[in-house]
Amino acid sequence: MFVPKISDRQIAILQGQYHVAGKIKWLAYEKAGHLHYMRTNLKMDEKAIGQALGMRESDVIRDLKAYEVMTQKLLPKMTSGNGLEKWSFVQEFYKRKGLEEYRRKPENIDEFVSLVVNKKLKQGADVRKLEKILKHPSAVKTLRKHGVSDAMSVVGKVDPTADSRTFQKLKEATHLLQNLQSKDLERLREEKPHKLLQELFAAIKEAAKAAGVKLS
């Protein structure tokens, strides 16, 4: 019986279709490792990998960069455990469009790795706060010395919405009221909608009184 020879490339593509793009998925780090294998061992470029696995070329490039930083820079610095739990930090770092400019400098990549290894960033979600911190030099200094929580407190003194969901909602409500559509303004003349506005006004006065804020 003749058995056709299957190339390493065909096997890799088949595995990727099953475990990267398919239903039986590998863990995120394993997926990135497979992309790295296809790029380095099989010499496939990012476009070919994306076409083979049904991925956007930009996503392939992003995952390959993240895998390179993870394996070449972060893991060698880990002194305990296998360090694979840090993958979410690196993956988030390369997902954030607001960090694109920051990522262009190699020294910033090294700084990010140091922040992760030294636990100045406690969890993967903390990477999302990095964009806000980087806008304030004093917050960056605090991050390096004390960590993300203290750094966000520094940012919060300049922008109260940065570290408070309550103030974020207040800002959103203000924006909403400043940009009410004519149909909503018309509805405010009805009893129940205008009661909502009256309750909001009363709540604002009470909050201002408690906080010692004078309303003009």
Sign of CA dihedral 82, 85, 86, 90: positive
Q: Is residue 177 part of a domain?
A: yes
**Are residues 154 and 170 part of one domain?**
no
**Are residues 56 and 97 part of one domain?**
no
| Predicted local distance difference test score (pLDDT) of residue 105 | 96
What domain count does the chain have? 3
**Calpha distance 136→143 (Å, rounded):** 11
Q: Is residue 30 part of a domain?
A: yes
Q: Is residue 1 part of a domain?
A: no
Burial of residue 6, with CB atoms counted within 10 A of its CB: 0-12 exposed, 13-18 middle, 19 or more buried:
exposed
**Are residues 157 and 116 part of one domain?**
yes
Neighbours of 101 (CB within 10 A): 10
Structure tokens at 157: 């003194």
Q: Which domain holds residue 15?
A: 8-60
**Are residues 143 and 89 part of one domain?**
yes
**Are residues 177 and 127 part of one domain?**
no
Q: Is residue 90 part of a domain?
A: yes
Q: Kindly report the backbone phi and psi dihedral angles of residue 155, in degrees, each rounded to the nearest multiple of 5, phi listed first.
A: -60, -40
pLDDT tens series, the chain, 216 aa: 444 555 566 656 566 565 566 555 657 888 898 899 989 988 999 999 999 888 899 999 999 999 999 999 999 998 887 788 899 999 999 999 999 999 999 999 999 999 999 999 999 999 999 999 999 999 999 999 999 999 999 999 988 777 778 888 888 888 888 888 888 888 878 878 778 888 888 888 888 788 888 887
**Are residues 151 and 93 part of one domain?**
yes
CA angle 150, 152, 154 (to 5 degrees): 75
- CB 184 within 8 Å of CB 173: no
| Predicted local distance difference test score (pLDDT) of residue 166 | 84
Q: Is residue 75 part of a domain?
A: no
Q: Is residue 110 part of a domain?
A: yes
CA angle 138, 143, 146 (to 5 degrees): 110
Q: Is residue 109 part of a domain?
A: yes
- CB 42 within 8 Å of CB 8: yes
Q: Is residue 68 part of a domain?
A: no
**Calpha distance 32→26 (Å, rounded):** 9
